[in-house]
Amino acid sequence: MLFNSVSFAVFIVAAFILYYLVPHKYRWVFLLAASYGFYMNLQIGYGLLLFGATALTYLLALRLEAASGSGAKRLCLLGGILPLVLLLLFYKTAGPVIDRLNTLSDAGRLAMQPFTVKILLPAGVSFYFFQSMGYLIDVYRGKIRAERHFGYYALFVSFFPQLLAGPIGRADSLLPQYKKKRPFVYENVTYGLKLMAWGYFKKLVIADVFAGVVNKVYDQAQSYVGLVFIVVTVMFAIEIYCDFSGYSDIAVGCAKLFGIELMTNFKSPYFSFSIREFWSRWHISLSTWFRDYVYIPLGGNRVSKWRHCLNLLLTFLVSGFWHGSSLTYILWGGIHGLLQIIETLLFPKKRKGVEVRRRKHLWQLPLTFILLCVTWVFFRANTMQDALWIFSRLFWDASRPLNYLQTGITCLGLSPAAALGMTLSVALLALYDFASLKRDVIADFSRQKFFVRWPVYVLFLVVIALFAPKGVATEFIYFKF
């Protein structure tokens, strides 16, 4: 059940109404049943995997807390983490390996029958596995106590707004919210609906529209040359941001309807003055997860300079591999690690134990965005060969500027009306994100007078209805991770 489907619209309306009709002490039961129904609507077998991960980490957290020796505690921790990590490795690598073997078999380079089985990554598995592992590690560290109530813990792992693509929650923040009485609060509901509407605008009007052009070029990369690669790479940077932050806005807004506060997952990331700052604003729940459960256990920055650099590189390589086992994803993660190392060496946060205040310069904004776009090429390219082709043909025929420009425009295949619509939607996105740097745009606008607010709300909904692609609902990009 996709957020951008008619079935979800029916589901969320029914769930919202019934939730506030159910007595408080049974609401966790209702939300748990709704979450499993939401997930199993995709595939019934998914529910078994979700329940298995939940039961395993729940039982081992209790056993870990009761264990007396450090060896027993570590055994419980490994007993919960290793199966989930191995399952993730299996799902991340088995499909690509089978596809590669089938390719070699079809080419006659391998004497074997092609595999007919397809191994697909279950939707959301990375996110709720990470959430479960984070909980177990926090219990091991003594940061939180193991949850005794299985139902509340199961709801923490499976809460449907964040189940498929986050934000990855923390137990110390979410578990108390599930137990607390949550009355109907009009302001929470209206704020949640407005945030959801903004998320749908980013997904349907920007991401899905841009995806049509990006996919056309990137899926046949070696049929194109020149300026078109620069344009569609910038378009992909906008597409992936709007697709994933749009999902996160819908998830956070949806949770708010039920009185649950999820963490903000994106904070105007393309207004970053450095790669380091970008990662403090992009996919915050995942980047902080890697920081707390990978980077810091490796030693973080509390070690020698070269080891600190190695820790940064390893963390980003793991992040790249998490996105996919292909070389393009690993290289994408590695480049981000190297960029972080360069920034750390050139611009340390502390020098001789004293905090260093680094002045921000306007030129750093476009430079950071350009570096990000370079890495997005590897992230989006279907193969390493395609990525190398793109970089080698970026400035093909650039010595003849008019030809270079004309070829790029022709290859995009956009009508003037479509190009204008895309430009206006991105301008609105940029204005919103810029304003969000210092204020809550939705809350501020909600305080405007009725005759100012409502025409804008109606116009906004009309734009979504008119300009969103019609037909089958498209999946969100991060579902495949």
283 catalytically annotated: no
Comparing CA positions, the residue from 174, 181, 195 lying closest to residue 261 is 174
Q: Is 350 helix (H, G, I), strand (E, B) or coil?
A: strand
Which single residue is written with the structure tokens 């003055």? 273
Structure tokens at 227: 């300026």
Handedness of CA 77, 82, 88, 91 (dihedral sign): negative
Q: From CA 308, how far away is CA 314, in angstroms rounded? A: 10
Going from the C-alpha of 224 to that of each of 232, 394, 395, the distances in angstroms are 11, 10, 12
Residue 382: count of CB within 10 angstroms of its CB? 13
| Cis before 96? omega within 30 | no
> Which parts of 107-170 fold into alpha helices (H)?
125-141, 150-158, 160-163
Catalytic option among 283, 308, 323, 336: 323
Would you tell me the crossing angle of helices 364-380 and 327-346 to the nearest 10 degrees? Answer: 160
473 token code pair: 């609902």
What residues have CB less than 8 Å from 135, skipping those under 6 apart? 57, 61, 144, 153, 156, 157, 170, 171
Q: How far apart are CA 12 and CA 307, in angstroms?
A: 49
Report the C-alpha gap between 408 and 147 in whole angstroms: 58
Instruction: List the alpha helices (DSSP H) in 145-226.
Output: 150-158, 160-163, 171-179, 186-200, 208-218
> Amino acid identity of 117?
V
Return the structure tokens found at 284.
């915050």
Q: 199, 181, 196, 197: which is closest to 260 by C-alpha?
A: 181
Q: Which residues are catalytic?
A: 323
